[in-house]
């Protein structure tokens, strides 16, 4: 694959495509920072776990949405649309979103009633509206990082393999969650990546992920 001059760095004879490499390094650092630090907690002391999760969702927006967008515009000198920040093929996006959510619903209903999932998500529940809002705030940046920024940066050097590659760090980021959920994420993350590629937008994987998380929490906590 031919690349424009200046798109690679020569490191000891190794021609390194610097933008995809920078995207991988930055994404990894952002995930590590998010794991160890909660900046919102230092600004506002949340009352209870659901409130804490809502405030931490603002961390996700800053780390996974704002910072990658700034890097794309100011460092890469490119358009966010080149990284899936656009409406894309909305017909394909909505069609496959509806199909995936319909097929996933009965599986999520069963999974949400398993002891491990119920025990883990019990603390998340504080009303339907709160669950939906928190999930949306948290996952919007999360999906842009994986199905926007990382997917399209890797696609330039790895081609279709990027759909699977971006799912690897996504799955590893779930290691603290119930085993059933974590084991499924390499497949779910690949499916989200495929939908992002198919629609040329991260919005439709976001909507699917939002449905999956919200529905699971509502089922596990008995809310709704």
Mean pLDDT to the nearest integer, 114-123: 87
Question: How high does pLDDT run on average in the chain?
Answer: 90
Is residue 93 within 8 A of residue 203, CB to CB? The reply is yes
Split at pLDDT 50, 70, 90, the class of 87 is: very high
Please give the backbone phi and psi of residue 166, each rounded to the nearest 5 degrees, phi first.
Answer: -70, -20
pLDDT at 5: 43
Residue (of 68, 11, 83) closest to 34 by Cα position:
68
Two structure tokens written together for 183? 């084991």
Is the pLDDT at 161 greater than 50, yes or no? Answer: yes
Say how many C-beta atoms besides its own lie within 10 A of residue 76's C-beta.
19
14-17 and 8-11 as β-strands: parallel, antiparallel, unpaired? antiparallel
Spell out the domain ranges in the chain.
Answer: 8-221
pTM of the model: 0.91
Tens of pLDDT, residues 168-220: 999 999 998 999 999 999 999 999 999 999 999 999 999 999 999 999 999 98
Q: Which residue has the higher pLDDT, 48 or 203?
A: 203
pLDDT at 1: 40
Give the C-alpha separation, 193 to 198, whole Å. 8
């Amino acid at each position: 694959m031919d690349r424009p001059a200046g798109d690679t760095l020569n490191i000891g004879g190794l021609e390194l495509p610097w933008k995809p490499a920078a995207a991988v390094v930055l994404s990894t650092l952002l995930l590590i920072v998010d794991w160890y630090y909660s900046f919102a907690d230092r600004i506002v002391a949340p009352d209870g776990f659901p409130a804490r999760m809502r405030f931490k969702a603002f961390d996700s927006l800053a780390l996974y949405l704002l910072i990658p967008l700034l890097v794309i515009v100011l460092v890469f000198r490119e358009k966010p649309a080149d990284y899936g920040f656009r409406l894309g093929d909305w017909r394909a996006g909505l069609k496959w979103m509806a199909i995936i959510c319909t097929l996933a619903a009965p599986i999520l209903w069963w999974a949400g009633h398993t002891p491990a999932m119920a025990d883990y998500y019990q603390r998340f529940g504080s009303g339907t509206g709160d669950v939906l809002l928190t999930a949306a705030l948290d996952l919007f940046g999360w999906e842009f990082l994986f199905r926007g920024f990382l997917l399209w940066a890797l696609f330039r050097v790895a081609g279709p393999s990027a759909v699977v590659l971006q799912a690897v760090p996504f799955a590893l980021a779930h290691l603290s969650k119930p085993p059933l959920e974590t084991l499924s994420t390499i497949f779910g993350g690949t499916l989200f990546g495929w939908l992002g590629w198919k629609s040329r937008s991260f919005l439709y994987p976001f909507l699917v992920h939002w449905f999956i998380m919200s529905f699971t929490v509502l089922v596990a906590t008995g809310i709704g």
